[in-house]
A = this chain, B = another copy of it.
Amino acid sequence: MNGEYCAEIIGVGTELLLGNIVNTDARDISEALSALGINVYWHTVVGDNRERLKAAVEIAKARADIIITTGGLGPTCDDLTKQTLAECFGLPLVFHEEEAEKIRAYFKSAGSSAMPESNLSQALLPEGCTVLRNHNGTAPGCAFFSGGKHVLMLPGPPRELRVMLEREALPYLRRLSDSVIVSHDIRLFGIGESAAEERLRDLMLSISNPTLAPYAGTGEVRLRVTAKAKSAAEAEELMSPLIEKVKAVVGEYIYGIDVPSLEAAAFNLLKARRLVFASAESCTGGLIGKRITDIPGASEVFKGGVIAYSNEVKSKVLGVSPDTLERYGAVSRETALEMAAGVRKLAGADIALSSTGICGPASDSRGRPVGLGFIALSSPEGGFCREIRMGSDRDRGRTVAAHHAFDMLIKYLSGTLR
């Protein structure tokens, strides 16, 4: 296979057609296939309806080389993707005892002794297919080649889809290709997507292999460097001078390459230095703790913390002086610094982070604007505080506040926190 082959993604699910959910699966798969050099030319969505799904598959067979379906692999009677696709390609469904065993084991480990028998229908798979393992659920996916078409069936729930795509489907698709595509993800914090793009535009437009493309995340920016070559080593050689050029232009904003998040970058630095931190959270309400403990092994770098959502907890548990709260308010540089110092002492940690801010909907009693926040870091070398603007969107604002906390931690550990 080469890059001239084209793919269609068929989403199966009435909930998509009712507008209950947005089709992030198609986006995720499209992004991944683009990175592999496979052209996605069509997205289609049909409901849980055998006739319309069949018609959609016939259309896809006539125009695409690779057909990827999402959804409809579950145990309920709505879930008809495997049956319909197998029928369209003239393949019988075969019972996989090995998959059935995995499904039984999954229910056992989840503590449900009584597994409904209908779940075993998930172990029915097209004859001769490659099983794509579901690391986050019971319904396995599958892949087969038939009638000149490559067909992959993936689950609908995004958390199942993403892991199966990454660990099972992409390795399968990569084997079809005679060239390799290698990517690196340069992660930036503290600069907007359009500002990053403006600085890098001439560089981006002057190259074709490797390529450089920006993607916006919530409050952060990813730059993807991609090269196509005969071998991974050759691709790396193509990319390395480009990555150096990017560093020369936006280096101050880069917090990591191929690291999944700010908290993961902080985790790696803390672990290497054998340092532990604690958190005192007001506006982020537990999000800093939640994000660091998303990482397996977090207990090596995180002692815990206090969610100080009321002034009572701020003063009684963290020891913020009532005078500070009175004079400067809960949302102030002074309170943020005392919160961080307080939790550092309380938890016996090397470093501590704190957050306080106005997430809205209303501004505070002192009339400070929604979106104002302070993030502080307490360390043996003293305290640091950053004033931030979180904007008026609650979710985004809280995410950005936690971003800043981890960014300060990374900069502190790298000796660049000012």
A19-B34, A26-B23 are contacts. A116–B41 as well, Cβ < 8 Å? no
- By beta carbon, the residue of chain B nearest A31 is B19
User: CA of A406 to CA of B11 in the docked complex: distance in angstroms?
Assistant: 33
Copies of this chain present in the complex amount to 2
User: CA of A47 to CA of B63 in the docked complex: distance in angstroms?
Assistant: 14
A335 at the interface (CB under 8 A from B): no
Inter-chain contact B305/A306, CB cutoff 8 Å: yes
Determine, out of A81-89, A228-236, A244-252, A387-395, the stretch whose residues face the partner at the interface: A387-395
CB distance from A301 to the nearest CB of B (A): 10
CB distance from A149 to the nearest CB of B (A): 18
Contacts of A74 in B (CB 8 A): 193-194, 216
- By beta carbon, the residue of chain B nearest A219 is B110
Contacts of A388 in B (CB 8 A): 111
Determine, out of A123-131, A253-261, A291-299, the stretch whose residues face the partner at the interface: A291-299
Other-chain residue from B16, B112, B389 in contact with A110 (beta carbon distance below 8 A): B389
Q: Across the A-B interface, give the 9 residue pairs with the lowest CB-CB distance, nearest first.
A: A111-B389, A286-B289, A285-B293, A19-B31, A19-B30, A286-B286, A43-B45, A304-B309, A286-B290
| Residues of A near any B CB (own CB < 8 A) | 11, 14-24, 26-34, 39-47, 49, 52, 55-56, 59, 63, 74-78, 106, 109-112, 114, 116, 118-119, 135-136, 157, 159, 192-195, 197-198, 201, 213-216, 218, 224, 279, 281, 284-294, 296-299, 302-310, 312-313, 316-317, 346-348, 359-361, 371, 388-389, 391-396, 398
Could you write out 20 A-B pairs with CB less than 8 Å apart?
A15-B215, A23-B27, A41-B52, A44-B45, A74-B194, A74-B216, A77-B201, A112-B389, A116-B195, A157-B218, A279-B307, A284-B293, A285-B289, A285-B302, A287-B293, A293-B307, A294-B394, A297-B361, A302-B309, A312-B348
